Amino acid sequence: MVAGAAAGLFLAGLIGIAASPQTPPIFNPGAPGAPSRVISAAEAAALGRTSFTADDVAFMQHMIVHHAQAVEMVEFLQTRGTHPTVRRLGQRIAQSQEAEIALMRGWLSDRGLPLEMPDMGGGHAGMDHSAHAGHAMPPSDTPIMPGMLSPAQMQALAAASGPAFDRLFLEGMIRHHQGALDMVDALMAQPGAAEDTMLSDFTTSVVGDQSAEILRMQSLLSDL
């Protein structure tokens, strides 16, 4: 009787083991010539947060500034534009890019990285730095990164209104979006870039969303 009970418990234990889902091991490749080792899920997550390059960091820091100018352009649109469809599109662009700014800032903060590059000098996307030492100078015609409007172009946009503004906005935002696509292409050309899962997903989203918005804006522009 005792032997039968023991056998039953042993069999139940075997069934329990067989029924338990087995988590597949996670292997971390070793250095050249060194063996791989099994790591925990927590270690794998930590490695995922550190698998980035200097190019990844620069991309995120620059894209924050790039997106911020798009949001600023939409702020002009709400008071100076007249085309209702252009306004609605602008609002969607601003909402999307504000959410992406929060994502990029979070990505940098989670990794203990600065939100701005030293070469940005803390400047705002539309800020004009053409006046120095009390001497007023014409606004610069040079954008600070691909697709961004220069300070002079931002001033022209802010001064326009009505249908003229709508056209300038669409032309400027099409260039702006194309600049973002060019920045993604430049990042992808760098060795080891965008291997971080979150960053890879973000760049894929940027390409898909902004490519579609470019087509929509080109269609609207042809109808003005």
pLDDT of residue 46: 56
Q: d(Cα 125, Cα 173) in Å, to the nearest integer?
A: 14
Domains, the chain, in order of start with CATH, read 65-126+149-224 (1.20.1260.10)
Per residue in 129-187, pLDDT (tens digit) is 333 333 344 445 566 789 999 999 999 999 999 999 999 999 999 999 999 999 999 99
Q: d(Cα 140, Cα 153) in Å, to the nearest integer?
A: 9
Per residue in 67-103, pLDDT (tens digit) is 999 999 999 998 999 999 999 999 999 999 999 999 9
Can you tell me which residue has the tokens 């002009």?
76
Angle at 71 between CA 58 and CA 51, to 5 degrees: 25
**pTM for this entry:** 0.72
Tokens of 73: 């352009």
> What is the helix (H) or strand (E) element at residue 27, kind and residue range?
strand 26-28
Per residue in 150-160, pLDDT (tens digit) is 999 999 999 99
Mean pLDDT within 207-212: 97
